[in-house]
A and B are shown apart, each in its own frame.
Chain A
């Protein structure tokens, strides 16, 4: 097996807030292979967005900070540890947009309202290559066409407010892909759009992934989305990875009680049984319980759960951080 495109190891990101330090991401490890879609799933506040932003070095300056771990990206000539780069330095900027593209949750606000769509895409293109404005604009039209925007030549001169939410997200994708990144991070790309549009966007991402042979890190709180698009899945809870597995297994054989809970709260067509929401609520970010973060809500919690469980590897595809799987052996 070749080296993964992205390998995150022991990532720990802290936010310094007036109320104290928030450990947003704690000892997170995962990898993304070339050409695969990794789904990152979890409730809001679980640290999945912070993980993505850590990868992009887009943490709020002076507040968010990677305190430990490595993020090795192998998209350029040689592998580079993003965590060790200066967030504002040229190498990092070359990776942003160039090596890794990112799209966000809110298509309505992700585009700058005072520049035309074209101007914004051109800006991204010219940032990573030495195309003339004219060439860049032609490329932008082409990209818009690729993401399924009709009449791209005229659309390119319009301002974002003339675009619908779905179109904006497409434009965002066009922009994120403009410099030909190896990895696309999609942070809840469909949360703010209609269900009908959601499917189209996911479809589009999938299509582009296949065409370009790139990888996708798909962040979502919606297991259905995972089911549709992801190859493998990372489940996060309160800043930690609780389970890493394949998309299929999430549904078929969830290992962690939290994953099971998530699944249980998922309405599915044709299922007659009652929804079983996870009891309790996600504690506030400053109220991290000691030991297993899920223990207070876990129906199967044991005495040992007061201690943070290590990650147990069940097999080649699945590892889980739960004492229930202690017997599965080695980490």
Chain B
């Protein structure tokens, strides 16, 4: 049965804790009807929690059915997680850094007076996708027996830790637990809004865990950590694992116990099934979306596909583009390069500044970003509360003369007449810039390496490799310069915290051997302090501190950013509830699937 589509006023549902819908009003996908009739599945009212989470569609109430199809350009994928995330809290909708995180699995949180302890109350009656009840024990199991068990290859995200220490978790009841921190940690809800998941099904996973089951081995357990390996069948997510073939595809089917509904009481998600197909590269993903093989993409497509999309739209293909303001390309310098001479060069702030000034961001904008780039430096994103125009302008203009001056002042001069500068001790410099095969970044890096840098006398070589192996070099600290997104700059304290900023125990990979080689400079240490304490202070103070962090990044250029840009994403026009534009919290909460459980397949126009 397809429900009549009605436009609703989203403002009416802005409050996350909207009054619960009456039990008798709940509806389910027709797909589940027969299972309920045959008694395989309890009726909808018994499957939903007492207070289901109510999600407000951005545009309209959807209808059930269909398969949400996406393409992926990597073989190894962690994408299952990307369809929906189910942590305790979520970042607020719509954006505001000041907004309180929205309770998700949690119903509420209360802090002790000194802020060193938080008591979380969970939503009552949530069930795992196999019908088992979800309780605090599942969180404690993941916390203590998985993340904190050194034999298990899963560690606690740095963002949940305080100064490298894991908070202590105590189960109070089935729906209540307490977390104790060594220091005040008011950032607790935000921290939890920034991770993918917080609970693993104890009733299922404990059978593989040596602490619970005789004969179980850690070796075997470590093979079962991914969602693909089977854990994905017992989940709190909107869809559960149905079929997975490594490097080919995986398919998901709706979780009959999913605990979220729309304002009319329809159990989410709208799509019965979801699937991801692995294809050759980004190009193939973009093409798949154009040809209707896939329904949406906000992960693999970019400005390099704008021409393809525009052309396809003009050809009358059923696709549309929406834009999101996202971080651009960045060059990470290794502060801990094993070679001392190279390390000295990379650690030289003036060298990095000269490098940034050498880059003609306007040319890059014209050639690669179709004019959608806002050339700028390494400040945090304008959509954060930490943005300052003047930070963004730091070392971001194209100034060859100034770059040459900076190099000369720092002792980098061309002493052998090969038109490239040598380091102050006279050794030739050749910076190797690693970049994964990427149909946008490789071109940009080529331009920078072959044109922009030689213009100021910096010799550089581009090393193009497979994304995975380039990333491995980065993670292993075996790189000189590495090119990737300016990760986390749109959400400095949340997403990809590790890469952007220091914070024990996980130093960013570009400065992982901080302790061994000594910190690169005082500014870096200052930044570390600010980032560390930002999580421990109330919001206003946090904003001040983070603005300073932003300024430190922009001025010191440990990472050289090219600027934020309007990134085009693509979706099929048959898809309902696609937001008119992508907001920051979409990207954090559900990127790249944009509240995937609210998307639905529109009726083909009948009249």
- Chain A directly contacts chain B within the complex, with at least one CB pair under 8 Å: no
B interface list, Cβ under 8 A from A: none
A interface list, Cβ under 8 A from B: none
